[in-house]
Amino acid sequence: MKSEQQYIDLFTANRDLLDRNGAAVMNACREKAFADFARLGFPTQKVERYKYTDVEAAFAPDYGVNLSRLEFAVNPYEAFRCDVPNLSTSLYFMVNDAFGQKSLPAAALPEGVAVCSLKQAAEIYPERVAACYAKLARTEKDAINALNTMLAQDGLFVYVPKGVAVERTIQVVNLLRSNVDLMVNRRVLVVLEDGAQARLLFCDHAMDDREFLTTQVVEVFAGADAHLDLYELEETHVKNRRFSNMYVDLQRGSVVNLYNFTLHNGLTRNRTDVSLSGEGAEVNLYGGVIADKEQHVDNNTLIDHRAERCTSRQLYKYVMDGRSVGAFAGRVLVRHGAQRTVSEERNANLCATREARMYAQPMLEIYADDVKCSHGSTVGQLDEQALFYMQQRGISREEAQMLLKFAFAGEVIDAIALEALRDRLRHLVEKRFRGELSRCSGCKLCK
């Protein structure tokens, strides 16, 4: 049986339930998404953008789906412990795809700023949501988008009105919690109006030792001169499969910095499509991956330069250990007329064991002549001379290796603007390299 069939059956059997528990704006997109999904099916590895990840296998098992919106009991104060020390944030949490409503004291946000459940938002301001929902994440060509759009019932909505700067970092802890194997379809919509500024921090955790399958579609709209820093930190477990599609649209003069760290996971595929639609926009992508055992991390990016004078930078670093598989495919597309584009793409990878595999594919596709584009990619291992030097000075080989790996990954961590988060990440990465599971100290959840 082809694995898409169970999703087709699921949708046809539970159409009413989906509509009943979803907002009208979201329901309106289901039919088309379903048709697209049924037509496309899951992409095979012959499809260029899915070359390195076997999608069908990940979707083949039979997962539970919480269509009737049962509430999962979670003590938010346990979740609260997974925070970043010394970083004052407006903290929210999501259990699977549901926004945690009541448990935390309401964070003080500037007026007009909304951080709430997407379903609620769609009911309160349907026009605002309808103008953005499923506008970037098109369902015609991507089966994951289609699947998510046809099944998504809730998610996160972040809205920052014109000219408003949100000082405090907005932190959203995504918790995966279930007593059975579960599929989660999360939807995130981030809208920054002209001149707005915000910092978002998404942390992914899995609380239960269950098989999880998460599809996440994130749509980010950055208005003219808006500024957004978006951090994503995945610390789940080997039984989690994550398919995240992020779409970012940048208007004139806006700046978006995207950080993505995969510290602990099972199978992760992050697709990031950035469209530089307005003149002078700037996007910076930083990715850090530390993988071992059987972990699989696939980052796939597309930077679409549509307007003049835009800048894009990408820096992805992988440390591959055990039998892990890493893939980085980055494509920079400079469209006709996108003159004076500056684009840099850099991908460096460390393979620490023989069984670890790395696939790198940095691509440039350029249709304009007044551009400066470059990409570089390396796959290698730790410098023997540096190791020898340190050993000579009495540092054990293991320690020396650790130091070098840490320095290697440090380049990405140093790019983080938030000092507290930077320290936190250094700490987590160090622990990770020391072979300790990346668990927060003192946290009851991750005993």
**One of 35, 109, 130, 366 touching another protein (CB under 8 A):** 366
Binding mask 33-52 for another protein (x = CB under 8 A): ---------------x----
**One of 123, 167, 370, 398 touching another protein (CB under 8 A):** 370
Query: How far is Cα 377 from Cα 104, in angstroms, rounded to an integer?
Result: 45
Amino acid at residue number 16: D
Query: How far is Cα 375 from Cα 235, in angstroms, rounded to an integer?
Result: 29
The nearer residue to another protein, 167 or 365, going by C-beta atoms, is 365
DSSP state for residue 48 in the 8-state scheme = G
Binding mask 310-349 for another protein (x = CB under 8 A): --------------------------xx-x---------x
69 lies in the site for another protein, by CB under 8 A: no
The nearer residue to another protein, 30 or 309, going by C-beta atoms, is 309
415 lies in the site for another protein, by CB under 8 A: no
Query: How far is Cα 147 from Cα 22, in angstroms, rounded to an integer?
Result: 15
> CA distances (Å), 275 to each of 163, 252, 282, 331, in order?
22, 11, 10, 12
Query: How far is Cα 56 from Cα 76, in angstroms, rounded to an integer?
Result: 34
**One of 352, 386, 395, 420 touching another protein (CB under 8 A):** 352
Nearest to 261 by CA among 237, 291, 227: 291
Torsional sign, CA 212, 170, 260, 244: positive
**One of 380, 391, 407, 414 touching another protein (CB under 8 A):** 380
Give yes or no for a contact between 91 and 173, defined as CB atoms under 8 angstroms apart: yes
Give yes or no for a contact between 66 and 346, defined as CB atoms under 8 angstroms apart: no
80 lies in the site for another protein, by CB under 8 A: no
Complete DSSP assignment for 91-111: EEEEETTEE--SSSPPP---T
Q: Closest distance between another protein and the C-beta of residue 348, in Å?
A: 10
Q: Closest distance between another protein and the C-beta of residue 321, in Å?
A: 9
Give yes or no for a contact between 54 and 45, defined as CB atoms under 8 angstroms apart: yes
From the list 83-91, 148-156, 358-366, 401-409, the region that binds another protein by CB under 8 A is: 358-366
223 lies in the site for another protein, by CB under 8 A: no
The nearer residue to another protein, 179 or 385, going by C-beta atoms, is 385
Amino acid at residue number 220: V
Q: Closest distance between another protein and the C-beta of residue 340, in Å?
A: 11
From the list 174-182, 255-263, 363-371, 417-425, the region that binds another protein by CB under 8 A is: 363-371
Task: Give the binding site for another protein (CB under 8 A).
Answer: 48, 336-337, 339, 349, 351-381
